[in-house]
Amino acid sequence: MKHKVVIAEHVDGNIEIEREVLGADVEIVLCKAKPAEAFMEAIKDCDALMTTNAKPMNRSELAGMPKCRVVARYGIGYDSIDVEAATDLGIMVTNNPSYCVDEVAEHALALILSAWRRVTQHAIAVKAGEWAPLGGGKIRRLKGRTLGILGFGAIGQGLAKRASGLGMDIVFHDPFVDESVLARSVSMDELLEVADVLSLHMPLIDSTRGIVDKTFLGKMKQDAILVNCSRGPLIKTDDLLEALNTGEIGMAALDTTDPEPIPKDHPLLACQNALVTPHSAWFSEESTIDLRRIAALNVAAALRGEVPTNLVNKDVKLSYVSQ
């Protein structure tokens, strides 16, 4: 009997890469996440589910897949999946921990440079018929300024490598990383106190959700730039709005927001000192290929009765894995 793999909200609708990895003996079903009834009908007999963040998988939905061996995330974060429930149900959860490290580090640096040099504001002004090279706010030399990185995993380290070429002083805080040749480890309080630019590179978990709140923002430099290419809910949006509107911090450059996608009439978009991109930091032609291939390789391993390389819930108990 063929294995059935359901792909929810595929990246671009083309499944050639997944087909190549999974093989012709696997039935692949493309399924939109809505309506919910149709989605549940499609996944009820699947052996594997491949999903993006567009379709959160809670306990009831996971329980509706009694044959499912693995839920494979097209992405690094897996906060859209109830991992504890999956573990209880004997379902493996996998992710793509390395597919877009370069892209996100590059995008964070692009946001830093654009915000610091007021590139976006100036470009918009010129298109509107204004020619004011000295307008748009105070601009200082970036060399010698301090870049603070909160979360020093692969992406944070990738940003540090790139920013070092700009002559910035780089510091970081990460409870799981004690030291690095790339940057100096500091306490959270010192990070907020010294950073001219603060870039977030943390996963979204219970302890980091809403970490950037009124108290956090109040400890930052008044003219600091906050950059977020991780997860929108790391930041309490209302608190950030207040800090931007009152001048408590200088600017925010965000690739992820809460809510997301951000509504057209959201007050954050009216802030002159907010720069927002549409959660595009992960994207390049190369990263998309990596994203799809790694996710499919994780599924292929599970269908063969093996433990996938990128298993998230390592304590899951599996009856069908080869010993």
Place of tokens 């996710």: 295
Residue 242 belongs to what H/E stretch?
helix 237-246
Residue 279 known to be catalytic: yes
State the DSSP code for 83.
H
Length in residues, the chain: 323
Residue 162 known to be catalytic: no
The two structure tokens encoding residue 262: 């951000």
Given a contact cutoff of 8 angstroms between Cβ atoms, the answer to whether 203 and 175 are in contact is no
Residue 231 known to be catalytic: yes
Given a contact cutoff of 8 angstroms between Cβ atoms, the answer to whether 236 and 214 are in contact is yes
Catalytic residue among 27, 193, 260, 306: 260
Q: Which residue spans within 151-301 are E strands per DSSP? A: 169-173, 184-185, 197-200, 225-228, 251-254, 274-276
Catalytic residue among 3, 73, 279, 292: 279
In order, the DSSP letters of 98-141 are: TTTHHHHHHHHHHHHHHHHHTHHHHHHHHHTT---TT-SS----
State the DSSP code for 311.
B
Given a contact cutoff of 8 angstroms between Cβ atoms, the answer to whether 316 and 92 are in contact is yes
Give the active site residues: 231, 260, 279
